[in-house]
Structure 1
Amino acid sequence: MFDDSWLEDQQALGRADVGLRRLAEAGARLRREIGEAEEPLLQIGQLDRPRAVIAAGSEARFIRAMLEPVCPVPFVAWPAYGLPGWVGALDLVVVMASEASSPALVATVHEAVRRGAQLLIACPPASTIADHAGSSSTILLPTATADPLAAAIVSLAALHRMQLGPEVDPWQVADAMDQVATDCSPYTDVAENPAKDLATGLAEAQPLVWGGSVLASRASRRVAEALRAASGRAALAADADELIPVLESAAPRDPFADPFVDAVSADRRPALVILDDGNPESPIRTADARLKATAERNDARVCVIQHATGSDVERYATLLQTGMYAAVYLAVGLGRYLES
């Protein structure tokens, strides 16, 4: 059972201090990473435009979501071991390895160096993967915080300097992260805290998470992963056409249901979580309206996380961080942190 009083209980919240503190420090980590990368970023504008860009490692799909609409050369997010067969000296391989490097990612870096490709790698300077990356064609963006998103944002700043991606201001993104930390602080009560409010809305529900734009969709999958880990329940992130049948199949709400019995039922009612980054495109607004109408028709709760100002990366980071805070508060309300 979800106990919303724990969201205001500083002792209960204290047991989630590690997760909450890491979220609160996201802006500071990004500032540190961009500061560490200042010198190599100055060299990047001198590089020739590559024939193609291949991204590997954590957050490669986020990089793809940012680059695909504007990149003037072909772009590939490569999740597999090694590299595509056509990659050579004319291409740029971007690797994000701010955390511990897997053998597959080390092999990818080794292969990029062997083929003479340009290599842009974000990783700790004293690491196995940095040792394999050493070559005259490598630019290393040193990382120190093991934060994949911070490393990806610094990599985006580098790609913009190479005229391969959109303009990104990491300092403004860090400020946006700080604002989320303020809005979602454990010391802010439910009435004014969007993350606690979302956790309360998902107290006994099955979350269905949707984001209409490419970036909001990417954030929705990350938020759904966090909600699954926090609650131990199924949480689905998908397109509108895939979520609508789930909403329509929900059994009618029983006004006489016993909350102490039915709350623990495996057949939880769905709750729709919409991540809205303010994208005005007609297909997105139409899908948004369809989802809300379907949820209303089937008496399903609708929870909206909205942020429509700032750059694409600022909006993405705000939606993602708010959802991550909500996952922590959901775990607190369910007592899952109390067990540790």
Structure 2
Amino acid sequence: MLDETLLDDPDALQAADRDGALRVLATAGAQVRAALAEEHALDRVADDGRPRTVLVAGLGGSAVVGEVVAALAGEHSSVPVQRRRGGPLPGWVGSLDLVIAVSMSGRAPEPLRIAGEAARRGARLVSVCRDGSPLADVTRRARGTLLTVPRTGVPGAPPPGSRTGLWSLLAPVLLACDAADVLEVDHAELAGAADRLDDEAEACRPSSESFVNPAKLLAAELDGSVPVVLSDGDAAQGAAARAVSMLHVTARVPAVRGTLPDDAGDVVALFDGAFRPADDDVFADPFVDGPARPTLRLLLLADQAGEHRAPADRAGPVLEVAQHAGVRVSELAADPGRPVEKLAQLVARTDFAATYLALGSGLDPSRSPHLADLREVWAERG
């Protein structure tokens, strides 16, 4: 059960958040502005012109960057955008293609391997990583474009990791895609996204009480549930990928996601499955009967609020069926704006909510012992 008294105690929150995840998330706007200051490094990417395809490679917390870029590209980009978590570089990648390798530390094995293979094939290479890392060295030897991530974050806040430093990785990749004429994401749009990230950090700050803090409210709604994250729109699709990743790794909550209209049938089919809503029993005693089993919670992320959606409303029928089935719904719609601005608003809200959900459940949002074990096994096997 979520400890809401802890969520309303800033000192207790700070003590529980040992690595300062909330403070780092609050620097997301500053992460975007730091990337904008390095925009001049992309001149060569622009000079090389539009590639045939783009492949974004990332592992772990960096992998969601490729998911977000592919979602933003949607059906509007004339250049296919693919993402890759691991495995060999696809055979079709050659000198006409752009490979973007993303790794906060610059040491993740899969992006490093893919970058090296891309260099051998003569593909265009852009890397986003820390300077002095193996990935930075590979990029320089290949005469690719290196976009460096600062080793230190905002003064007073801990340095970001690949999970809390999403915008340190995503903003440079978006700028690279704009320079390559793959996406239209200009300086003004990213500056607007930084402003929205600042606004969300203020609204979701630890000192804001639960009844007015939108992220704490969302954490309370998700508590004890199996979230099904459904996205409506390209920006929402990218935000949904990030939300599920944060729910898994930060809050340790199993979650699934789908996209409208393609996955509407798969989602509503869950409404009468094993996690269907339970009949409310006012006489139920959790000490005698055991804790209530988790039930589905539909989390709808939308590019636009319901009153602004197109006449062919894709979410309306799903929400209607959910209401009939007794499935509770949390709906989060972005304010009007450009795609990356909407993405920023949705991502920030769910980032803070997942972190509050972890802290309120007695979990460290920054450290998972089993994830650490998995990394050790990966390291041992090379």
Q: TM-score higher than 0.5 here? A: yes
- Taking the aligned partners of 2:212 and 2:129, their CA distance within structure 1 comes to 38
2:135 counterpart residue number: 129
Match of 1:240 among 254, 264, 267: 264
Give yes or no for contact 1:253–1:299 (8 Å, CA) kept in 2. Answer: no
Q: 1:230 to 1:85 in 2, by over 3 A?
A: closer
Please give the secondary structure, in 2, of the residue aligned with 1:170: helix
1:297 counterpart residue number: 324
- Taking the aligned partners of 1:329 and 1:143, their CA distance within structure 2 comes to 27
Please give the secondary structure, in 2, of the residue aligned with 1:210: strand
- Taking the aligned partners of 1:50 and 1:251, their CA distance within structure 2 comes to 49
User: Residue 6 in 1 paired to residue 25 in 2?
Assistant: no
Give yes or no for contact 1:54–1:75 (8 Å, CA) kept in 2. Answer: yes
State the Cα distance separating 1:137 from its structure 2 match. Answer: 4.5
C-alpha offsets along residues 270-291 of structure 1, whole Å, 9 cap, x if unaligned?
Answer: 22211122183566x33x2223
Q: Give the number of aligned pairs.
A: 336
1:219 counterpart residue number: 239
Alignment of 1:133-212 (within 5 A): 133-135=139-141, 137-144=143-150, 146=161, 147-168=165-186, 169-212=189-232
- Taking the aligned partners of 2:249 and 2:142, their CA distance within structure 1 comes to 42
C-alpha offsets along residues 270-323 of structure 1, whole Å, 9 cap, x if unaligned?
Answer: 22211122183566x33x222322222232322122213221111112111111
2:46 counterpart residue number: 45
Give yes or no for contact 1:66–1:166 (8 Å, CA) kept in 2. Answer: no
Match of 2:346 among 316, 319, 331: 319
* Aligned partner letter, 1:328: T
Please give the secondary structure, in 1, of the residue aligned with 2:238: helix
Q: 1:332 to 1:78 in 2, by over 3 A?
A: closer
Give yes or no for contact 1:96–1:148 (8 Å, CA) kept in 2. Answer: no
2:280 counterpart residue number: 254
Please give the secondary structure, in 1, of the residue aligned with 2:47: coil
1:267 counterpart residue number: 293
Gaps of 5+ in 2: 152-160, 368-382
Give yes or no for contact 1:50–1:90 (8 Å, CA) kept in 2. Answer: yes
* Aligned partner letter, 2:282: F
C-alpha offsets along residues 148-186 of structure 1, whole Å, 9 cap, x if unaligned?
Answer: 433222221222122221224322211111111011111
- Taking the aligned partners of 2:167 and 2:208, their CA distance within structure 1 comes to 25
* Aligned partner letter, 2:131: P
Identity of aligned residues (%): 28
2:81 counterpart residue number: 75
- Taking the aligned partners of 1:269 and 1:73, their CA distance within structure 2 comes to 41
C-alpha offsets along residues 230-261 of structure 1, whole Å, 9 cap, x if unaligned?
Answer: 55443232333222122234244223243634
2:125 counterpart residue number: 119
Greater shift in the superposed pair: 187-196 or 163-172: 163-172
Gaps of 5+ in 1: none
- Taking the aligned partners of 2:244 and 2:172, their CA distance within structure 1 comes to 25
C-alpha offsets along residues 200-234 of structure 1, whole Å, 9 cap, x if unaligned?
Answer: 21233222221122331332232233224455443
1:87 counterpart residue number: 93
* Aligned partner letter, 2:299: V
When the two chains are superposed, the root-mean-square deviation of aligned CA atoms in Å is 2.6
State the Cα distance separating 1:21 from its structure 2 match. Answer: 0.7
Give yes or no for contact 1:252–1:298 (8 Å, CA) kept in 2. Answer: no
Match of 2:24 among 22, 25, 43: 22
Please give the secondary structure, in 2, of the residue aligned with 1:114: helix
Please give the secondary structure, in 2, of the residue aligned with 1:56: strand
Give yes or no for contact 1:276–1:308 (8 Å, CA) kept in 2. Answer: no
Give yes or no for contact 2:128–2:149 (8 Å, CA) kept in 1. Answer: yes
- Taking the aligned partners of 2:296 and 2:288, their CA distance within structure 1 comes to 14
State the Cα distance separating 1:83 from its structure 2 match. Answer: 1.9
State the Cα distance separating 1:264 from its structure 2 match. Answer: 5.7
Greater shift in the superposed pair: 146-155 or 190-199: 146-155
Match of 2:360 among 309, 333, 337: 333
Q: Normalising by structure 1, report the TM-score.
A: 0.88
* Aligned partner letter, 1:269: T
Q: Normalising by structure 2, report the TM-score.
A: 0.79
